[in-house]
Amino acid sequence: MQPKPSIVHLPVYQPGKPIEDVKRELGLDKVIKLASNENPFGCSPKAKEAIIRELDQLSLYPDGAAISLTEEVAKRNGVRPDQIIFGCGSDEVIEMIAKAFFLPGDETVMATHTFSQYRHNAEVEGAVIVEAEMKDGTHDLDAMLAKVTDKTKIVWICNPNNPTGTMLPHQTVADFLNKISAEILVVLDEAYIEYVTAPDFPNGLELLKQHKNLILLRTFSKIYGLAALRIGYGIGHPDIIKLVAQVRPPFNTTRTAQAAALAAIQDVEFVARCREANAEGIQYLTGEFDRMGLRHFPAHGNFIMVEVGRPSKDVFDALLRKGYIIRAGHALGFPTSIRVTVGSREQNEGFIAALSEVLAQSAVEA
Ligand SMILES: Cc1ncc(COP(=O)(O)O)c(C=O)c1O
């Protein structure tokens, strides 16, 4: 059998250890996962009620085009329904974009340390990855523009950026879009948009009015707390969305996911509470990092990348033994940093206590 040459070298995605496995292996009663930028407060109770109402319909296929949800999301974003496409997570929207646009040998520009799925899906399609260095953990759009050639098909911008948490302001993104050829698709991934409190965060919907080549990515996995249901979406020009829709599998989002997302997006109080708690968590955690003398990137999402001055894997293992799962930075391009998701107040305080012990212990051992 001959597989596609472009996939032969690709690693199989390695998920983090499930909480139950960590408990059993380490003999711990309580394990806190602050590793995948999930919502520590779960999801809206209204989303749970909507899922229960769907249970009688499980024998029926979902509405492939997610019409009710599309209409609600369109209304809330001031766009037309034909400007929206849903995916099985925004992961699948990334996959569909790659599938719809890349031919082998096309080039695609992205930052050196950004969300892994842009690279992965581009590689599957045989595209050539062109990376641009970042400045202080932030996308350098001038450097990215300098990497554009007549072979470039797609440029990926993650804002706030995963894994660094940094953000580009509106004018910087607007200037970039004014300079780049309208023939090149620009994907602006806004997975963490609902957490951002900075007033100069880009208004992607405004930019979309002037730039047909822009597509925004959003998700219900983060502030809406529905990561398990796998639902995210793209917003773009109807012509672009139609092309992406042409490669969409027929029933790619489930009934339960659609119903939960519809209820979740209407529960604005839940979202506001999570956003506020997250801002308090960022303030607390960054304050503690400053007090401990640990450098960190400015955090605009629901996670912080902090420099711990030791091999990240050692700090990861030591925190795991204390019942905290975080992301070690080595796999993300930051070998002496860790990425921690903002938890509830209690989780954040417990994490800081555990980290302080781990760092004090490793200082003694050094
Ligand atoms: C920047 C970014 N984009 C997209 C995703 C994918 O999210 P999902 O597929 O759960 O919608 C993530 C998940 O961590 C992310 O961090």
Ligand 1: residue of 34, 94, 162 to mutate (most ligand atoms within 8 A of CB) is 162
Mean pLDDT of 192-216: 98
pLDDT of residue 222: 98
Q: What value does the mean pLDDT take over residues 212-224? A: 98
Work out the end-to-end distance of the chain between its first and last CA atoms, rounded to an integer number of angstroms: 52
Extract the runs of DSSP E, i.e. beta strands, from the chain. Answer: 32-33, 84-87, 107-111, 128-132, 152-158, 185-189, 214-219, 232-236, 303-307, 324-325, 327-328, 337-341
- Can you give the pLDDT at residue 18? 83
Q: Is 115 in the pocket of ligand 1 (CB under 6 A)?
A: yes
Q: In the prediction, which pLDDT does 363 show?
A: 75
Specify the pLDDT at position 13: 85
Pocket residue to mutate for ligand 1, from 190, 222, 230, most atoms within 8 A of Cβ: 222
**Scanning the structure block, which residue is given the tokens 């979309």?**
208
d(CA 230, CA 324): 25
Q: How close is the Cα of 97 to the center of ligand 1, in Å?
A: 14
Could you give the CA distance from residue 304 to residue 219 in angstroms, rounded to a whole number? Answer: 19
Q: Which residues, in sequence order, are CB contacts of 80 under 8 Å at separation 6+?
A: 74, 238
Question: Is the model's pLDDT at 310 over the cut of 80?
Answer: yes
CATH superfamily, region 5-30+269-365: Aspartate Aminotransferase, domain 1 (3.90.1150.10)
29 burial level (CB within 10 Å; 0-12, 13-18, 19+): exposed
CATH class held by domain 45-266 = alpha beta
Going by CA atoms, what residue is nearest to atom 16 of ligand 1?
Answer: 162
pLDDT band of 362, cuts 50, 70, 90? confident
Residue-wise pLDDT for 38-77, tens only, equals 999 999 999 999 999 999 999 999 999 999 999 999 999 9
Is the backbone peptide bond immediately before 163 cis, with ω within 30 degrees of 0? yes
Whether pLDDT at 364 is above 90: no
Closest residue by Cα to atom 7, ligand 1, is 90
Q: What is the mean pLDDT of the chain?
A: 97
Residue minimizing CA distance to atom 3 of ligand 1? 191
Segment 287-309, tens digit of pLDDT: 999 999 999 999 999 999 999 99
In whole angstroms, what is the distance from residue 328 CA to residue 331 CA?
A: 7
Find out whether the beta carbon of 158 lies less than 6 Å from any atom of ligand 1.
yes
The kind and range of the H/E element at 92 are helix 90-101
- Cβ(90) – ligand 1 distance below 6 Å: yes
pLDDT at 366 over 70: no
Ligand 1 centroid, distance to 218 Cα (angstroms): 8
Summarize the confidence of residues 247-256 as an average pLDDT. 98
* Overall average pLDDT of the 327-352 stretch: 97
**65 Cα–ligand 1 center, Å:** 21
Report the SS3 class of residue 85.
strand
Q: What is the mean pLDDT of residues 199-205?
A: 98
d(CA 176, CA 138): 15
Whether 221 lines ligand 1, by a CB cut-off of 6 Å, is yes
pLDDT over threshold 80, residue 17: no
Q: What's the 27 CA to ligand 1 centre distance in angstroms?
A: 31
Please answer whether residues 318 and 361 qualify as being in contact, where contact means their C-beta atoms are separated by less than 8 angstroms. Answer: yes
Confidence of residue 106 (pLDDT cuts 50, 70, 90): very high
- Going from N- to C-terminal start, the domains of the chain cover 5-30+269-365, 45-266
Reported as a single tens digit per residue, the pLDDT across 119-178 is 999 999 999 999 999 999 999 999 999 999 999 999 999 999 999 999 999 999 999 999
Of all protein residues, the one whose alpha carbon is nearest to atom 8 of ligand 1 is: 89
Which tokens in the block code for residue 113?
A: 């340390």
Q: Tell me 135's DSSP state.
A: B
- Return the closest-CA partner of residue 285 out of 215, 346, 349: 349
pLDDT score for 283: 98
Q: Which atom of ligand 1 is nearest to the CA of 115?
A: 1
Mean pLDDT over 340-353 rounds to 98
| pLDDT range class, residue 263, cuts 50, 70, 90 | very high
CB 62, CB 229: distance < 8 Å: no
What's the Cα-to-Cα distance from 141 to each of 132, 170, 267, rounded to whole Å? 9, 12, 35
φ and ψ of 243, to 5 deg: -65, -40
Name the residue type at position 301. Answer: G
% the chain with pLDDT above 90: 95
| Conformational region of residue 126, where left means phi above 0, alpha means psi within -120 to 50, and beta covers everything else | left
